[in-house]
Amino acid sequence: MAGVKLLGFWATSFAYRVIWTLKLKGINYEYIEEDLHNKSQLLLHHNPVHKKVPLLLHGDKAVAESLVILEYIEETWPENPLLPTDAYERAMTRFWINFGESNQEKAIKETVEILKIIEEQSLGDKKFFGGEAIGLVDIAFGWLAYWFEGIEEAVGTKLLNSTTFPRLHAWIQNFKQVPVIKENLPDRPAHGALGHGYGDPEPLGECRQGFEPTVLKDWQLENHSDGCVRKTPRQCGNRGI
């Protein structure tokens, strides 16, 4: 089998989607941590268009974009399937993955309605989105289980708890207890602007002229070709977004 390499960055759930999938499928791979401010020639050569992580290298093939990578892994290594075999169920799996992806960039005020739809229409009373076993929808929504806390802290509002969304809250606990997931979560919280260590993040750049300071959300990281370049609102004079 051709060698498998994954280029990622510790703070982004998009890379962890791929890590979880590779682990659940039992695929051996080499992980390469990228410095988003000094991107490797390996990344720039194999992903010249977007120049971002995650990036999967399988032999001489390069696959970018986390959801595209998940589909590639599922089709290349059909063992330990994460997609259902029924055509309709596969279609619905892709529908909910796309629904969650397209709504990650919504304003926080719309998040409650989005979570309500996910909980009532997709999850329901199931342990996982596909039933009793973890699947690709769970992996796609995995950012809710860890990185969403950072968004809540950034805006100062607790949206997802056992009272407001009991089924989603229960799903998060179930998801985080899956051995592969539990063993492959970041050791440090990816909250606020992305930094170098534990606790309060160190600034990765100054607030540039003409730019409003912001907290870089996880979903922004995959679409930010130059990574996090702004300080947190607190570090830039308490001006929030």
pLDDT per position as a tens digit, 128-164: 999 999 999 999 999 888 888 777 766 556 778 888 8
Final residue belonging to a domain, choices 22, 52, 76: 76
> Residues 173, 114: one domain?
yes
Both 92 and 153 in a single domain? Answer: yes
Angle at the Cα of 105 (from 100 to 106), degrees rounded to 5? 90
Domain boundary among 151, 182, 213: 182
pLDDT of residue 107: 57
Query: What rounded mean pLDDT belongs to the chain?
Result: 78
Q: Are residues 13 and 68 in the same domain?
A: yes
Q: Which of 220, 225, 236 is nearest to 50 (CA)?
A: 225
| pTM of the predicted model as reported, rounded to 2 decimal places | 0.62
* Gap between the Cα atoms of 136 and 154, Å rounded: 28
* Domain span including residue 157: 87-182
% pLDDT > 70, the chain: 71
- CB atoms under 10 Å from CB of 176, counted, come to 13
Q: Residue range 110-128: average pLDDT?
A: 89
Specify the number of domains making up the chain.
2
> Using one digit for the tens of pLDDT, what is the confidence trace for 64-105?
999 999 999 999 999 999 999 999 999 999 999 888 777 655
Is the residue at 189 inside a domain? no
CA dist 178 → 51, 103, 125, 158, 172 (Å): 32, 26, 18, 24, 10
